[in-house]
Each structure stands twice: as structure tokens, then as C-alpha cells.
A and B are shown apart, each in its own frame.
Chain A
């Protein structure tokens, strides 16, 4: 079993839809939770990160972490064609020798059509 599981999709939605992307994980030591967005032929870029449990909102994007269920989510409101990309969840323990070592999900391919 992989440490981080992410449904690869692909996911296709109409413009304006609410998108929900999810990851589950098995390592209870994970403390940092991130979402990266990767456009075609580009490197991943950080979208949002949270520490431990809770919600975080940034414009149309909301990240949620439920450590009790080992489940994280990214919601995109009013989705736009420009949101079409691969979304990668990533997580890591806090500090020490694990610093910088992110464990990634497989990525979900999202297409928002006009």
C-alpha cells in the first residue's frame, strides 16, 4: 500500500463547477500537507499548504486536513479553464532528517471545459 493515495482521475468538469480533490495517507507522522499544481510541460508549483489539521482558504481554493481520518481535500470554487492542470497532494513529517522529503500522491488530472 502506498503511503499516499490519490485518485488519478481524469476529472472533467464544466466551467463554474465546484471541484473536490482528495488524498488519503497512512503515515501518522505527516504534519505538513500541501497541494501543488502542475501545468503541462512545467514543474509543480505550490498552491497551498497547511500545518496539522484544519482548513485554509485562499481565494477560490480551500484546503482541508482531517488527521483523525488521514484525509486531505482541496476544493476549487467557480472553476475556470485556467485551472486545468494536474493537482498533486504532498505531505511530510515535521523537521529533522525528514526535512524537505515530501511524499506525493499520483496526481489528479483536472480539465475544466468552457
Chain B
């Protein structure tokens, strides 16, 4: 089954404790991206990657890091999480099909205390 897999699905952590949210896709997509979803603000892009070793900032990159060492994986790293990073995070991917159609993962709900 074609899918984007994120882990963990739920996480409660404390301020300053580094964490990584993993994302993997099995569709051989070139493009991958991270979004956060907050009430009243909708989905906002954090980082994206056009291909292996090519990443760039989205609209809200502060406090996040990413890497793209393999085509299928695109982890999101929070080096020193803060309470304002409490959110619902989505990883997404797409192919160079011209239609900009994203396939989303199921989401990772993060709470930073």
C-alpha cells in the first residue's frame, strides 16, 4: 500500500529535550515536506525537500531541523523543544507529476510541557 508513515503518532515531552519525528514514504517520491497544523492557523509548511540532500525552509522553520540522506526518509528534528511547538505535525510527499498533489501521513501529535 502506498503510504507515508510517521512515528511517533503521539508524544509528550518536556522543554529542551531533543526529539525526532520520523517520516518514511514508499512511493519513490522526490518531494517531501513537513507541515504543522494549529487551530485557527491551518496547515503551515515547516521545511521541504526537493530531493536527496536538497532541503529548504518553509514558512515557519524556526526551532526545527531536517535532513534528507535517503529518498524515502525525511526526519523532523526539534533540538530544544518549547511549548509553542506543541502542535499536530504532518509529513507529506509527492512526485514530479506537475499536479502538486501531496500524500499526507496520519500525523504526529506533539505536546511540549
Contacts and interface: CB of A to CB of B under 8 A. Distances in A.
A100 B33 contact: yes
Contacts of B58: 101
Interface residues of B, number: 26
Interface of A: 6, 8, 32, 34, 36, 41-46, 49, 51, 88, 90, 92, 94-95, 99-102, 104-107
Contacts of B4: 43
Interface in B59-113: 90, 92, 94, 96, 98-107
A101 B48 contact: yes
Please provide the 5 A-B residue pairs with the shortest distance between their CB atoms, ordered closest to farther: A43-B104, A104-B43, A106-B42, A100-B31, A104-B42
A40 to B, nearest CB: 11
Interface string B19-58: 0000000000001010000001111110010100000001
